[in-house]
Homo-oligomer: A and B are copies of this chain.
Amino acid sequence: MCAAVAKPLLYTYFRSSCTWRVRIALALKGIAYDPAPVNLVKDGGQQLSPEFQAVNPMKQVPALKIDGVTLSQSLAIIEYLEETRPNPRILPQDPKKRAQVRMISEHIASGIQPLQNLSVLQQMGDKKVDWAQRSISSGFEALERILQETAGRYCVGDEVTMADLCLVPQVYNADRYQVDLTPYPTIRRINKALLELEAFQTSHPSRQPDTPADLKA
């Protein structure tokens, strides 16, 4: 007579780099979920509909319905998953290393991604690609220097952490905007190592239920 416990519901868009971060976390932790695709370009952007704004007033994906609440903002969601489903962990145990992971994550989430976000680029007209390239390159220049201090096999040491969940989607965006990655050997090396892991592959934009047929892997 028990009601089945509902699976978490992820509001997602195949190409959203912020949502991809959360998809990787869910995959790493083995959390089954139902996807609810929100097309950010169709119909002028389905995230702007009154129905979706009732889900997330921030008019963005990702949003995650889980444990009776609806959460938004990718890093906040990932921290919640880490606190409530700690295995396998994606934050190190040592507070200084945790700080490094959060620092790299925030550098990408606040320092790079917002400047090349769809809603900003839409206002840039002709300068769109140039603006995206400069924002990403400038951020990657700093990131490369930081990773040279913190990295092992991955961004911080040899364990996959939240920083890695931010790195791979940001490199994907850099590729979209044809950013020259030659000056960033550490970023390239880590990105390559991460893309060999199953959680990064199944969550990839080319393998989502809402991926258009011509972009499917």
Interface: A187 (CB within 8 A): no
Cβ of A98 and Cβ of B113 under 8 Å apart? no
Residues of A10-42 at the interface with B, using a CB-CB cut-off of 8 Å, are: none
Q: How far is the CA of A80 from the CA of B103 in the complex (A)?
A: 10
Q: Which of B71, B84, B102, B141 contacts A73 (CB 8 A)?
A: B102
Among the stretches A104-112, A172-180, A197-205, the one at the interface with B is A104-112
User: Are A57 and B95 in contact, with the CB atoms below 8 A?
Assistant: no
Residue interface bits A113-139, CB-to-B below 8 A is 1, else 0? 111000010000000000000000000
- Per the 8 Å Cβ criterion, residues 42-85 of A in contact with B are 57-60, 67, 69, 71-77, 79-80, 83-84
Instruction: Output the residue of A99, A105, A106, A142 with the most chain B CB within 10 A.
Output: A99
Q: Which of B71, B79, B102, B114 is close to A111, meaning CB atoms less than 8 Å apart?
A: B114
Partner of A57, one of B71, B96, B142: B142
Residue A145 at the B interface, CB < 8 A?
yes
Closest B residue to A73 by CB, please name it. Answer: B106
| Chain B residues, Cβ within 8 Å of A141 | 57
Q: Does A9 contact B (CB under 8 A)?
A: no
Given A80-B99, A83-B95, A99-B77, A109:B107 Cβ within 8 A: no
Q: Would you call A103 and B142 a contact (CB within 8 A)?
A: no
Considering the chains assembled together, what is the distance between the CA atoms of A71 and B96 in angstroms?
9
* Contacts A95-B80, A110-B114 given; does A73 touch B103 at CB 8 Å: yes
Contact A106 B76 (CB under 8 A): yes
Question: Does A146 make an interface contact (CB < 8 A)?
Answer: yes
Bound-complex Cα distance A48 to B84 (A):
41
Contacts of A110 in B (CB 8 A): 73, 75, 106, 109-110, 113-114
Q: Which residue of B lies closest to A56 (CB)?
A: B142
Of chain B, the residue at the smallest CB distance from A101 is: B76
16 of the cross-chain contacts (CB-CB < 8 Å) are: A57-B145, A67-B96, A71-B99, A73-B102, A73-B110, A73-B111, A74-B106, A75-B102, A76-B99, A79-B102, A84-B95, A106-B109, A109-B110, A110-B113, A111-B114, A115-B120
